[in-house]
Chains A and B, each alone.
Chain A
Amino acid sequence: MKTIQFREAICEAMSEEMRRDESIYLMGEEVAEYNGAYKASKGMLDEFGAKRVIDTPIAELGFAGIAIGSTMTGNRPIVEYMTFNFSLVGIDQIINNAAKIRQMSGGQFKCPIVFRGPTASAGQLAATHSQAFENWFANTPGLKVIVPSNPYDAKGLLKAAIRDDDPVIFMESEQMYGDKGEVPEGEYVLPIGVAELKREGNDVTIVSFGKIIKEAYKAADELEKEGISCEIIDLRTVRPYDKEAILKSVKKTNRLVILEEAWPFGNVSTEISHMIQAEAFDYLDAPVYKINTQDTPAPYSPGLLAEWLPDYTDVVEGVKKVMYRK
C-alpha cells in the first residue's frame, strides 16, 4: 500500500486508464496547462499531450455537447467541471443527450463518458457555489452517479466509471482533494453500485456518502463514549444504490439515520427512506431520521453557514432521537 492524496487518486485513475485506452481524453477548464483548478490532472498534459488533455474556454454547454458527440464516433471522454455548480450551464446536454442517446436510438449508440468534478459546499462560497446536485442527476434514467469519500474509493471507482459503457457522473469535493489515504501499489477497480460497510455496530445504522460522511465518523466516536454503537454505510454509488447493504444493516440495528449534504426536498435520503418503509417496515423500531442542509440557498456569513450545513452534532442528535435517548 501507499499513501496518496485524493487529487492524486483521481489523477492516477485517469492516467492509468488513458495509458490503457487511446480513445480516452480529458477535457475541461484549466485541466491542461494549469494542471487542473484543484491540481487533479497534474502532469497529465506533459504525459499525454495537448491532443488528449484539452483546455477549453468557459463554455460548459459547448464542450459537454462536443464530448458527448464524440462518443458517437468512438471516444470515451472524461469531462471535468470546475465544479458541478457550473454543469448547470451544460446540463441540457447531459440530461437530454448523454442520458438518452442509447435509449432513443434503440441501443445503436452507447455513451461511455464521465463527467467529474467537485460537488456541494466548500466553505463560504455562497449560494451559487455551494450546491449538491447528486439527486438531480440520480433522478435521471440513463445516468449513473458515483460520490466517493476517500482516495481508495475514488481511484477504484473512477477507473470503473471510465471503463463503464454508460454515462457516469462522478462527484468529488474541493475540501477532499488534500485528504490522504492508502491505496494498493498495483491496479484495482471497484464495482459501481456497491456500498461499503465502513464501521460495524449494533444500535443504529447511519447511511451517508461523499465528504459529509466524515461527520458521521465523528458522531460515531462521540456516541461510542456513551455506549452507543453505530454501523456506518458509505453508499459510494448513489445511482444505482446498494439497497441490499442498507436493508441488511437496518434489519440488524432496526434504526436508520441518513446524512446527506443536499436540500431536504426529494433527495437521496427520501428515496432510501421510502425504500426502507416499503421493504423493512416491520424491522423499524423508530421512524427513519434524515439530516440535510437547511431548505435555503447557502448563505455566506460564517455563522449562518454553520447553521445551514449539517455536522456531527446533528448526527449525534439524530441517533439519540431514533434511540429515544436524551
Chain B
Amino acid sequence: MKKVTKDVLLNWYEEMLFWRKFEDKLAQVYIQQKVRGFLHLYNGQEAILAGALHAMDLTKDKMITAYRNHVQPIGMGVDPKRVMAELYGKATGTSQGLGGSMHIFSKEHRFYGGHGIVGGQIPLGAGIAFGDKFHGVNAVTLTFFGDGAARQGSLHEAFNLAMLWNLPVVFCVENNGYAMGTSVARTANHTDIWKLGLGYEMPCGPVDAMDPEKVAEAMSEAIERARSGGGPTFLELKTYRYRGHSMSDAQKYRTKDEVAEYQKIDPITQVKDRLMSDHNMSEDHFKDVAKRVKERVAECEKFAEESPFPEQSVMYDAVYEQEDYPFLPAKS
C-alpha cells in the first residue's frame, strides 16, 4: 500500500470535510426546494471514499455505486460545481439535468453512476470489469452497494459469474447498519455480510470503515489481487450514516445515542486527532481548512444557482444515439 504520510492525512482531512459540507449544503438547499426528489446523503461514510481513492490507480481504475452518490464522483475528479448543478436540474449538471440526485455519471472520470434500483449496479460493476478484461485494460472496478442491496438476487448471480470468469472487480458493501428503516439483523439469519463471499470461494472479510487507513489497506490488497489476475474480492465496510435515509425519515428505528456513539469515531475527527497528535498540526491549520472548504462549497452553490435550466430538446436528444429517431407524439 502507498504510505499514509502527513500529506495524505492532510488531504484526507480536507477532502472529507469538503464532502461533508457539500452534503450539508445540499440538505440546506433541499429544504429551500432548490433540489427536489430524493436526496440520500453520505455523512458518516466518508472514510470509505478516502480510503478507496488512496488505494486506486486514479489514471485507470473505475467506480460504480448506488444513489448515495454525490461525493464519489467528486473524489474521482469531477468538478463539484457540476455535481451541485445536476442536483439543481441545471444544464451545466453532470447529466445536463436529466439524472438528478440519484444518477451522477462521468465517463471522463470513470465514474459509472449513480443507480436508483437497489442492487441493479452490482452486475454492471462486474460487467465493466468484464469489458476491461476483454480489452486487456489492466484496470480494476470498485463496485459499491448497501447492506440492503446485499439481499438482492443480483448480488449472487454477479458474484458467481465474477468468480467463474475471474473478473477484476472489488465488491464493496457499505454496511451502514440500515436499509431505510430495516437493520441488517432483520434481513438475514446472521449479520456478517462478508460471509456471503464464502459460498463462492471469493476472498472476503470485514473492514473497520470509520478509519480511512484501514479501508485503504483492505482496498489495496483487493485491488492488487484483481490487477494481478487474482479475481474478485468482497469487502464488508462497516460504517454508519448520520442522516436519515433520504430527507423524509423520522428515524424511529434507531436511537440518538446510537448516532452519537458513531460520531465519537467520526472519520474526519479521527484523522484530525492523528494530525494533531502525530504531526503537531495546530487548530489554526484546521481553521484555515474550514475556511477554504466553506469557500469551495459556496462556489458550487453559486455556480448551480446561476446556471441555466436545460433546453427542452435535451429530453429527446439524450435518449438514442440515432440523431433522427422518430419519437411518437405524446398527444394526437
Contact = CB atoms under 8 A, between A and B. Distances in A.
A304 B330 CA distance: 14
A304 to B, nearest CB: 5
A299 interface: yes
A308 interface: yes
Contacts of A60: 152
Contacts of B315: 294, 296, 299, 304, 307-308
Contacts of B98: 126-127, 299-301, 304
Given A296-B319, A300-B99, A302-B89, A59 B151 contact: yes
Interface string B267-285: 0000000000000000000
B327 A295 contact: yes
A186 interface: no
A310 B330 contact: yes
B253 interface: yes
Given A57-B188, A125-B38, A300 B97 contact: yes
B142 interface: no
Contact of B253 (A34, A127, A300): A34
Main secondary structure of the interface of B (DSSP, over half): loop
A126 B253 contact: no
Interface stretch (B7-15, B47-55, B56-64, B174-182): B174-182
A41 interface: no
A58 B100 contact: no
Interface string A58-99: 111110000000000000000000000110110000000000
Contact of A29 (B37, B182, B316, B319): B182
A217 to B, nearest CB: 18
B30 to A, nearest CB: 11
Interface in B277-320: 309-310, 312, 314-316, 318-319
A253 B3 CA distance: 79
B6 interface: no
B329 interface: yes
Interface in B172-231: 179-182, 186-188
Nearest to A59: B151
Interface residues of B, number: 47
B154 to A, nearest CB: 8
B331 A290 contact: yes
Contact of B331 (A33, A126, A292, A303): A292
B330 A292 contact: yes
Contacts of A33: 181-182, 186, 253
Interface residues of A, number: 46
A291 B331 contact: yes
B168 interface: no
A295 B116 contact: no
A130 to B, nearest CB: 9
A317 B331 contact: yes
> Which of B179, B253, B316, B328 has the most chain A CB atoms closer than 10 A to its own CB?
B328
B148 A58 contact: yes
Given A29-B180, A294-B315, A301-B309, A126 B186 contact: no
A314 interface: yes
A12 B144 CA distance: 40
B236 to A, nearest CB: 16
Please indicate which of the listed interface residues B99, B252, B315 has the most CB atoms of chain A within 10 Å of its own CB.
Answer: B315
Given A301-B89, A303-B310, A296 B327 contact: yes
Contact of A30 (B37, B97, B154, B182): B182
Given A127-B103, A308-B315, A58 B179 contact: yes
Contact of A294 (B102, B152, B330): B330
A37 to B, nearest CB: 7
B253 A265 contact: no
A62 B182 CA distance: 17
B25 interface: no
B97 A301 contact: yes
A201 interface: no
A128 interface: yes
A57 B179 CA distance: 8
Interface string B34-50: 00111000000000000
A314 B34 CA distance: 27
Contacts of B68: none
A45 to B, nearest CB: 12
Interface of B: 36-38, 89-90, 95, 97-103, 115-119, 148-149, 151-154, 179-182, 186-188, 252-253, 309-310, 312, 314-316, 318-319, 327-332
Interface of A: 29-30, 33-34, 37, 55, 57-62, 85-86, 88-89, 123-129, 264-265, 289-297, 299-304, 307-308, 310, 314, 317-318
12 contacts: A30-B180, A30-B182, A55-B182, A57-B179, A86-B118, A128-B102, A129-B38, A300-B95, A301-B89, A302-B309, A307-B315, A310-B330
Give the 3 A-B residue pairs with the shortest CB-CB distance, closest first: A300-B100, A301-B89, A301-B97
